[in-house]
Structure 1
Amino acid sequence: MVKSTFRALCITLALGGALYTTGLSAAESPSETQATQVSSPQEGQVSINQASAEQLAAAMNGIGLKKAQAIVSYREQYGPFTAIDQLKEIPGIGNALVERNSGRLKL
């Protein structure tokens, strides 16, 4: 009885160790991908002077289609943006939203 319990414990530990190392290998992959994405920040950027409302809504965190349409309307009414911080002039877009998306935007 003790021998079979010990054998079951050893098998469980061996399988658990194998699963743990497999999990570590899988966990390392996204960080490698993330490092690649960080090294080329301009790839994921969208131009606030050229993008459509749909493109802005898809690219920006916390911006839905309604706010994206407000950005496009502001751009059409006042001309192209000269600074990303000008987004703060649009109702419903504040400092936090602009800061959160600053890496995703370009002029």
Structure 2
Amino acid sequence: MKLKTLLVTCLACASLLSIPAHAASSQSDSSSTNGGPAFTLVNINKADSSALTSLPGIGQKKAEAIVSYRELNGEFQSVEELGNVKGIGKRMVERLATKVTI
């Protein structure tokens, strides 16, 4: 009987100890290093128009323009090169700079 009580107590303690560790790890998975929500960078050299529309300010037409530009000119050499795409200006490039990669 004492052995059964000891075993149940040990299992209860072990499960309680694992809860805070799990909560802390899931919290860090859902936020970036600056405390904001985590997100995946969009690779402008690989993304299709559907993925590009997930970016703020990029609708279907601009996404298609990015893909067309890439098909005609080859891969982007820098994020700033997005400014060469019709309908994307300097301000848009600045807003997207932290959300895209090449």
TM-score band w.r.t. shorter chain: 0.5 to 0.7
User: Aligned residue for 2:43?
Assistant: 47
The AA in structure 1 aligned to 2:45 is N
Question: Which structure's residues are more often helix, by fraction?
Answer: 1
| Residue 75 of structure 2 corresponds to residue 84 of structure 1 | no
In the superposition, the TM-score normalised over structure 1's length comes to 0.61
The offset of 1:101, in angstroms, is 1.1
Backbone CA RMSD of aligned residues:
2.6
For 1:69-89, what per-residue CA distance to the aligned partner results, in whole angstroms no more than 9, with x for missing partners? 000000000000000100101
In 2: Cα distance, 1:54 partner to 1:72 partner: 10
Q: In 2, are the aligned partners of 1:41 and 1:103 still within 8 Å (CA)?
A: no
The AA in structure 1 aligned to 2:66 is I
Gaps of 5+ in 2: 1-26
Percent of aligned positions with the same letter in both sequences? 38
Give matches, 1:64-75, under 5 Å.
64-75=59-70
In 2: Cα distance, 1:79 partner to 1:105 partner: 17
In the superposition, the TM-score normalised over structure 2's length comes to 0.64
The offset of 1:44, in angstroms, is 1.4
After TM superposition, which residue ranges in structure 1, 4 or more long, deviate above 6 angstroms? none
In 2: Cα distance, 1:98 partner to 1:42 partner: 20
